[in-house]
Chain A
Amino acid sequence: MSRSTLTAPRTLTRRTLTLCTLLGTSLMLAAPGAQAQTSGGVLRAGMQADPVGLDPHVTQATSTRNQLENVYDTLVAFDPSGKIVPSLATRWTTSKDGLTWTFTVRSGVKFHNGRAFEASDVAYSINRIKDPATKSPRSGDFELVKSIAAPNKTKVVFTLSKPFSPLLSKLAFSLNVIVPREAAATLNTKPVGTGPFVFDSYVPQTRMVLKKNPNFWGKDAKGNKLPYLDGITYSYLPDPTARVTALRTGTVDWIEYVPSTGISALKGDANINVLGGPAANYRALFFNVAQKPLDDPKVRRAIAYAINNQEIVDVALLGVGGLASPGTVFPNGSYYAAPDANYGKPNLDKARALLKEAGYPNGFPLELKVTSTYDFLRAPAEIIQAQLAPIGIKVNINALEWSVYLPDVLAKKYTATILGESGQGDPDDYLYTPFASDSGGNLTNFKDATIDKWLDQGRQVSSPAARKKLYVDVQKRLVDLSPMVFLYSSTQYEAARKTVQGYQHFPNTSYIGLRTAWLGK
């Protein structure tokens, strides 16, 4: 769910600092200017999974997004720090009542089929996502958009039924891309966009080939044409050990999802750079607050007081997989975050006192349903079991395969679980989706009128400062009411051979950074 504004993590190892230049809040390999930018090279990228279909509007898969986000463009985009910047729209204005958004689109842009891009393509694309016949998993993103009109070739006007400040971040999400109407019927086999790379071919579970788009509109800071690479060839290496080996043997130049077990080996390899760090996500212990005794906020807060987040990070994640959470869904350093330095440090006296007040002085048994598919969601279970034992809560762990587990959790058939969500854009996504009482993404049955009111107000005001004030209150109240215990945030790493230069890591699992990459000799 959540795609939310993030300010990127600032934790850098000394090693990366010597290698990298801090650019905005992300990392860039090789200081710009230290070496003259040279175009060229076909990057061989080792990916974890095939795209789940090639039509970006009908899937929510990160694999499809990552492999096609450089074939398409969005109306507006995120920069590496999570700020909204122009893309196919060069500027935009909002009416005073927040109901009318007018975008001016870039002229001189061509689709890969040669046809000139115009404002009506924006209207067509967003309406296509909204259309039930498209079967898009993000039709709800534009639920509040009443109509979209393109009065001329360079203007597009969105009319909303209610003010909705997260609109820009929805438009920046790189699966909500702009497509040409005439190619829509065949997008699932032959993507056509305006982006820096042209789709060439795709052989399922073997490879996808992208070629440089010589007519791409984008330029770097010095006015040089982008992209630098001649092409990208994705191959599919689902096994993490095999993926790391492929990089070390030079079968590929760049890999995604470096397993935590492979990081130290890769860091010790003189031919390889490891890029990344904390990612924009949170992992939490979710409670089904409709069930007794978890319906009592005191019980939930008591559990939060018993849990030691640092221990979970150090023991369960072996010290490489995450950052202990300071009690918020926002990533470290986010503008909207209200971290609490004392969160996640156990205080068993308080925990016991709260349990006593709630009428459970001797604790109770707690069913914890987890997925065995992802280590980072499975491993904390035993630690939590041990941490809750001293206050009398006896945790029974039930581990299920992901594709069996997920439908259960979506149907709220669980008592407690360990789950997380990753963020992209707006703070609204981080807070509204999981915690608003009328949200489809609310998996905890949590319902609080005050939080609902604040979240609704957050959608109607557009000044970041005013929104921050509301969201800080929401976060504090969430800690008091504890529908979740925030545990940690995961890290995410890519790795590349040293020949790969100019690649920029985005903390929101986006590979837009490949637009500025090239292969050195």
Chain B
Amino acid sequence: MSAGWLVRRVLMALLAAFGVGVLVFALLRLIPGDVVTQLIGLEGNVSAAQQAEMRRLFGLDQPIWMQFLSWFSGLVRGDFGISLRTDRPVFQDLLLRFPVTLELTGLALIFAVLVGLPLGILAALRRGQAADLISSSFVLIGLAAPEFWLAILMILLFSLKLGWFPPNGYVSPTESLTGNLKSLFLPALALSFGLAAATTRIVRASLLDVLSQDYIRTARAKGLSGGAVVVKHALRNALIPVITVIGLQVGSLLGGAVIIEQLFGLPGVGRFALEGINLRDYPVVQGAVLWIAVSYVLVNVVVDVLYGVIDARVTYS
């Protein structure tokens, strides 16, 4: 792949991120209410004149394009703004929370691949047999069951009944590595279910497709062992659609992380955004959504690069 391609790809990614930024900025302001109404809520006691003054102090009396310009010019300088709720720099909080979300989704991705890849291969090789049936049932459940429901069942079984894992809370790896893995095991497992099922299905389908190709028959005909055919020839070719699906699914992992973080009380970006939305803390929501969007875009750049690594036929210029 050429450097020119990479530059163009990254520029496209930045453009996509900018689009997301404009969109979230506009959409947020379409939701009724602002930080002042949310702060006062039902039980506050503020005269109308004071409310107007509060809006002025929060900068909400400025025209929207001015607000956007000041936010955007800050972004260019790496300044995500200050939370209207906590007075903390949004960037500082994002740095604090992103590792949690990253670890959670990373672990979920690993679980999904560890389960989905062998199960999919097995189902393809034992097509129509018991293993295939078991794997299809798993796919059906994994795709149909909502992760929050699975998560609650897991909490009840593994925490309450068996006491193997803490029901919630987050331990940072600098505090205790085993504590950290224990605190993330259940959330990552719950989050990985959907992706594991999707991976199983796509691996099976893609492998079956490849196995019926002529070059596989040729490989078999020249006397290669079954294992070598599957690993060296079939699997490598079957992986392209698998990686595409996994790359796209990272988006839903990041989305699902919002719910899982809330359920297990993990201090990740999703929960940060959710609290921001509830209080109309514009800089927080804008920062968090933009951050997640950029990570998603980056994952897809990486996926494009991976195509080239896996499949020599794919070149970029």
Contacts and interface: CB of A to CB of B under 8 A. Distances in A.
B40 A137 contact: yes
B272 A1 contact: no
Interface in B36-61: 37-48, 50, 53-54, 57-58
Interface string A168-208: 00000000000000000000110000000000000111100
A254 to B, nearest CB: 15
A3 B37 CA distance: 19
Interface string B132-162: 0000000000000000000010011001100
A109 interface: no
Interface residues of A, number: 55
B168 A246 contact: yes
A139 B271 CA distance: 30
Interface string A236-274: 111101110110110100000000000000000000000
A403 to B, nearest CB: 5
Given A239-B265, A433-B45, A140 B50 contact: yes
B49 to A, nearest CB: 8
Contact of A1 (B38, B45, B47): B45
Contacts of A419: 42
B102 to A, nearest CB: 16
B44 A137 contact: yes
Contacts of A143: 47
Interface residues of B, number: 52
A160 interface: no
Contacts of B12: none
A513 interface: no
A204 B41 contact: no
Q: Which one of A135, A139, A237, A246 has the greatest number of beta carbons of chain B within 10 Å?
A: A135
Interface stretch (A33-41, A301-309, A405-413): A405-413
B155 A241 contact: yes
Contacts of A237: 168-169, 265
Contact of B86 (A53, A138, A421): A53
A200 B271 CA distance: 24
A245 B87 contact: no
11 contacts: A132-B50, A137-B45, A204-B86, A205-B267, A235-B265, A242-B264, A245-B168, A246-B169, A422-B43, A440-B46, A440-B48
Given A137-B40, A249-B167, 17 more contacts: A1-B45, A2-B43, A53-B86, A137-B44, A140-B45, A143-B47, A203-B96, A204-B88, A205-B97, A235-B169, A242-B168, A245-B155, A245-B160, A402-B278, A419-B42, A440-B46, A441-B45
Interface of B: 31-33, 37-48, 50, 53-54, 57-58, 85-88, 93, 96-97, 152, 155-156, 159-160, 163, 166-170, 262-268, 271-272, 275, 277-280
The 3 closest A-B pairs by CB, nearest first: A407-B33, A137-B44, A205-B267
